[in-house]
A and B are shown apart, each in its own frame.
Chain A
Amino acid sequence: MNGKNRKYIEKPIKILLAKPAIDGHDRGIFVLARAFRDAGMEVIYAGLLPTPEEVVETAVNEDVDVIALSLLNGAHMTAFKNVMNILNKRGIKDIAVVGGGIIPDRDKPKLEKMGITGNFGPGTKLSTIIEHVKKRAGEIRKLRENEYK
């Protein structure tokens, strides 16, 4: 590993937090924003009611490692999928997508299959979520590093 790459790896994890549907329940996402920031990450919040297109656009422009999606309104199966579809259509593989919110157990395997991991429900410890994000960001950085080789 050369010095340049090491410097790249040491950059803080950059994460985009988004609620990609018509859902204003932002208590959880604000708590996470603080927690991620306190864990040393660079946090971007997509603001209220972004469309899935806007979420992907922001993620690309800001060059984030991770997109964290949250919905508490039951629309995750549609809205999370929309974000994934756009990522896939644009051929973007080097951004990890994690999810959370009110997600029934039956939906979790389906989301995993789409490539959305975590899918944390209420009561999950912040440390668990932070660890997961770090793990996924690490994978992504390794992937990018390999691409640059």
Chain B
Amino acid sequence: MVDSFWEAKINEMEKSFKKNTDYERWKKDTLSEWNKKTGYTEKEYTNSSYMKIKELYTKEDLPKDFDKELGYPGEYPYTRGVYPNMHRGRLWTMRMFSGFGTPDDTNKRLKYLIKNGETGLSIAFDMPTLYGYDCDNNRSAGEVGKCGVNVSSLYDMERIFDGIDLSKISTSMTINAPAAILTAMYFVLAEKKNIDLKKISGTVQADILKEYIAQKEWMYPPEAHLRLIRDMLTYSTENVPKWNYISVSGYHIREAGSSAVQELAFTLADGFYYIDIGIDAGLKVDDFAPRMSFFFNSSINFFEEIAKFRAARRIWATVLKEKYGAKNPRSMQLKFHTQTSGYTLTWQQPLNNIIRTTIEAMAAVFGGTQSLHTNSYDEAWALPTDEAVKVALRTQQIIAEESGIGDVIDSLGGSYYLERLTSEIEEEAYKYFSEIEKLGGILNAVKKGYIQKEIAETSYKKQLRIENMEDIIVGVNKYIEKDEKPINILKIEDIAEHNQIRKLKEIKNKRDAKKVRESLDRLRIAMEDENINLMPYIMDCVRNYATIEEISNVGREIFGEWKESKIY
């Protein structure tokens, strides 16, 4: 049965838009006359979501119930921000996504960033780690430490966080398919450092739906990963109360080619699905919804991005309250991390990327982000150098401490354009929710490849617009320079791979093989019973220094593997 919740919302929104007669008059009497006189040919303006953008917005463009929809910061529906004092009370966390080479290389980079004023950690893992392979697997050859840091066992986590106080700084880990294993490693690491699990804070990405949609990093069929998410959710809710057990991510959906509206709609649809998982596991929505966090992209169309962040908060609050019956305000507050867009960075004239990142970071701050990563100008080339990452961090510090942007809460709120755009993006998202529901829910839509095809369609259209000069990218299709000089980039030496393999051998020799085998066996048995929470079993394996691949292989054996549906 199709729930009409979404359709009702769409109707409600459509009714809230008025006809703007004053604008029509001005357009006819003044603008058109002027254009005729000056020989200006009108053309259509759009944004990343192919919404039609007018040349002017006025008071009449605001929705009928404007005051109610806008509300106040820290109050439902949180359009203006989730906290009453927003960035005055607490600046966003400056959290630079970092990780490369060996755990020792990454430890050095983290300490460098902390020294330079970073306020939260964010770990990037390499491809083998993201797919649950050890560094000595044949398939890992050439990839160890290249796109992030390699973690094959707890020993590597111990080195990454050596000399860093986990009770004082929060950590975010971008890991999905083997998220439960890395989470277990972090928890066990805290235990070994004698820190109460109730005191550690941080976030694990763990958003598997967007993996099938966009980032394409999975190990098992969706149902198996979703069970692991349930286990992380319930375990953390009970034992690690300051841990965000999931970061529902639009970032990768956007990078894979979606529009802003698609990013928003697919991410929130994923979020609603995770809410369903918690409820199906027997929890009350207010028990676990407050620790669900989000992660969005901030791309280059300034107003579209700000509108997207505001719409995200309003939709989440509305749906959690009206559809899920949440009572705790914290369940309704959508908190998010933002990363500036990697896609918009150009390989050509890389210093221009500093400006792109600045605009995108400003949009995130105007949009009320809780934490922010700014990309470095050299990242279209490689992982960033120390110098480039420092410029990126300084960009945030300049916005925070010089620009005054954060001094006033939601300072662009009330802009006719921004408000109208916020409402229209919200409505477009509701249309997608309704569409997804008709397809049998997000999981089905993903399995059928519907979402993936929508994104591929938008991405191809974008590329053609660039080729046809309908969309301009400075330095790429306009203002091109010949004979550009290569910039200094970070090179990950192959020695990192050799060292990592050597360290893995070391720990395999040192650990108690019998204990490893026994804990893996216990995990295997637990996996066969759908009702058992696997977290304690995985933590047990990790404690005995079982490797990421050994633990993942138990799952591969029990759950099997997964091939995506054909998109071409």
Which A residues fall within an 8 A CB radius of B?
21-24, 26-27, 30-31, 33-35, 37, 43, 45, 47-49, 51, 73-75, 77-79, 102, 104-105, 121-123, 125-127
Contacts and interface: CB of A to CB of B under 8 A. Distances in A.
23 contacts: A21-B139, A22-B140, A24-B216, A27-B255, A27-B257, A27-B459, A30-B257, A31-B456, A31-B463, A35-B463, A37-B568, A74-B142, A74-B147, A75-B127, A75-B142, A102-B380, A102-B382, A104-B486, A122-B346, A122-B347, A123-B347, A123-B473, A123-B476
Given A34-B456, A127-B467, A24 B215 contact: yes
Range, interface on chain B? 35 or more
Contacts of B337: none
A73 B130 CA distance: 12
Contact of A49 (B131, B256, B567): B131
A104 B382 contact: yes
Contacts of A35: 460, 463
Contact of B127 (A22, A105, A126): A22
B348 interface: yes
By secondary structure, the B interface counts as loop
A31 B459 contact: yes
B472 interface: no
B489 A104 contact: yes
A73 B383 CA distance: 10
Contacts, number: 94
A122 B255 CA distance: 14
A21 B456 CA distance: 21
Contact of A73 (B143, B463, B563): B143
B7 interface: no
Given A48-B564, A104-B381, A22 B456 contact: no
A73 B128 CA distance: 11
What are the 3 closest A-B residue pairs judged by CB atoms, nearest first? A78-B142, A24-B216, A74-B146
Contacts of A75: 127, 142-143, 146
Given A22-B133, A102-B382, A121-B347, A31 B460 contact: yes
Given A23-B127, A45-B568, A104-B382, A78 B141 contact: yes
B129 to A, nearest CB: 10
A74 B492 contact: yes
Nearest to A78: B142
Nearest to A26: B216
Contact of B463 (A22, A77, A79, A126): A126
Interface string B546-568: 00000000000000000110111
A102 B347 CA distance: 9
A47 B563 contact: yes
A105 B488 CA distance: 12
B380 A122 contact: yes
A63 B203 CA distance: 47
Given A21-B127, A21-B139, 12 more contacts: A22-B127, A22-B140, A26-B216, A35-B460, A47-B563, A48-B563, A74-B143, A74-B147, A75-B127, A78-B141, A104-B381, A123-B476
B217 interface: yes
Nearest to B489: A104
Interface in B513-568: 563-564, 566-568
Contacts of B568: 30, 33-34, 37, 43, 45
